[in-house]
Amino acid sequence: MPIVPLHGHDALRARLADARARGALPQSLLLHGEGGIGKQRLALWLAQSILCEGDAPPCGACRQCRYTNELTHPDLIWAFPRPKLKDSDPSLDEVKLDLNQATQDRAKAGGLYSPPPGSEGIFVATTRLLVQMASVTPAMARRKVIVVGEADRMSPPLENAEAPAANAFLKLLEEPPADTNIILTSSAPGALLPTIRSRVVALRVAPLGVEAMRGWLQEPLVKEALDKAHLPGSLDERIRLAGGAPGRLLAAQESGAAAEIARKLLEVALSGDRSRLLRTALAQGSSGARGAFTDVLEALTVELHNRSRSAVTQSDERTARNAARAVSLVEESKVMAGGNVSPQLITASLLSELSRVLSS
C-alpha cells in the first residue's frame, strides 16, 4: 500500500524538479524548516523523482515509483532516530534490520508517524551503515538515495573508535559517489554539527498553506488516524490546530491515544473490580512499548489533576485529597517504568493501589 501522497510545497517542488531535469540538483541537500511540516515526506518525494524512470518524474506509475511509495525500494535508505540497540557494537546487519522494520512500520501506517522520543537518535552504527550503503551499486534503479531525517540528532563520535565512521560520513557528504544523492532534513539546523552543515546545500521548507492542509486532512488514511484519536472533528478546527504542520496533529494523536488508555485505567481502578484490574494490567503493552507506557502514565497524572481540580470546585475535599495522593502513586510508577520493571507488573500494582486510595 502506498504512503499518503505529498501535499503542498508546490514552489519548492517546482524548483527541485527543474534542477533535477537540468542535472543541477546538488547531491548533498539539507531541507530545513519548522518541525512537523513534512520535510521527510518531501525528501521521499524527491527521492522518488530521482529514482523514477517515467517521463515526468515522479510519474507515480513506474516500478521505481511504486517501490518508493511503498517504502520498499532497495535503493532508497531512510534513516531517522531510533532507540540505541542494546548491543554496544551492533553489526551492520542488525542496524539494517532495525531500520527496515521501523520503516515498514511507518509504511504500514501510510507514512504517518509521531515524532520519535528524545531518547532516540541516529547513532554511529547507523552512520556506518549509511557509508556502506553509499558504496554499493544500485540494486534496481540507476541511482540510490539516502534520506536522513532529523539529521541534527546524529550523534558526534563519542570515542576514538567511532571517529572513522563519522569522518567517512563527512567525506560522503562532501563527495558522494556519482550515483548517490543524500538528503538530510532538520528542524534544528543550528544544532547540526558545523562540519555537516558546511558540506550541504541548504533549502528552506515553508509550513503548509491552508489549501494543502485541507487536501492532506481529506486523505482517507489521515482522516481515519485522526478520528480514531478523537482529535477535534471539524476540518477548520484541525487546520487551525496544525498551524501548517501536519506532524503536529500526528503528535497530538499519540497523546490523544495515551489519554484514552489513561481514562480507561482510571475507570477500572474506580470500579474496584479485582478481576478487571488484573485483565487490564495484562493487556498493557510489553516492555517493547516502554515509550508509549510512559506517555500513558503522564496522561494519568493529567487525568488525576483534573479530577482533583474539579473536586475542589465542588468543595468535595475527600475526592480532591484522594486524587492528590493518587498522583504520587503514579509518580512512583514513572520511576519504576524508567527502570527495568515490566509495564504489566507496574500497572497491576498501580491499579490496585489506586483503587484503594481513590475509594478511601
Cα–Cα–Cα angle for 58, 115, 247, nearest 5°?
55
Q: How far is the CB of 310 from Zn ion (least distance, A)?
A: 56
CB nearer to Zn ion: pick between 59 and 85:
59
| DSSP-assigned beta bridge partners for residue 186 | 32
Residue of 22, 29, 63, 67 lying closest to 46 (CA atoms): 29
At 12, list the grid cell. Answer: 519548492
At 138, list the grid cell. Answer: 544500485
CB nearer to Zn ion: pick between 65 and 146:
65
Q: How far is the CB of 78 from Zn ion (least distance, A)?
A: 18
Binding mask 277-296 for Zn ion (x = CB under 5 A): --------------------
CA-CA distance, 245 to 303, in Å (whole number)? 27
At 322, list the grid cell. Answer: 484522594
At 171, list the grid cell. Answer: 567525506
Q: Which 27-86 positions form the footprint of Zn ion (CB under 5 A)?
A: 52, 54, 59, 62, 65
Q: How far is the CB of 22 from Zn ion (least distance, A)?
A: 19
CA-CA distance, 8 to 6, in Å (whole number)? 7
Q: How far is the CB of 160 from Zn ion (least distance, A)?
A: 45
Is 92 exposed, middle or buried, given 0-12, 13-18 or 19+ CB atoms closer than 10 A? Answer: middle
> Number of residues in contact with Zn ion, rule: CB under 5 A?
5
CB nearer to Zn ion: pick between 54 and 256:
54
Q: How far is the CB of 102 from Zn ion (least distance, A)?
A: 25
Q: Which 309-348 positions form the footprint of Zn ion (CB under 5 A)?
A: none
Q: Which 187-216 positions form the footprint of Zn ion (CB under 5 A)?
A: none
Asked whether position 141 contacts Zn ion by CB under 5 A, the answer is no
CB nearer to Zn ion: pick between 60 and 157:
60
Q: How far is the CB of 340 from Zn ion (least distance, A)?
A: 48
Residue of 72, 161, 165, 70 lying closest to 127 (CA atoms): 165
CB nearer to Zn ion: pick between 139 and 275:
139
CB nearer to Zn ion: pick between 64 and 253:
64
Report how far apart, in Å, the C-alpha atoms of 220 and of each of 4, 5, 93, 214 are: 9, 11, 36, 12
Contacts with Zn ion, residue ranges (CB under 5 A): 52, 54, 59, 62, 65
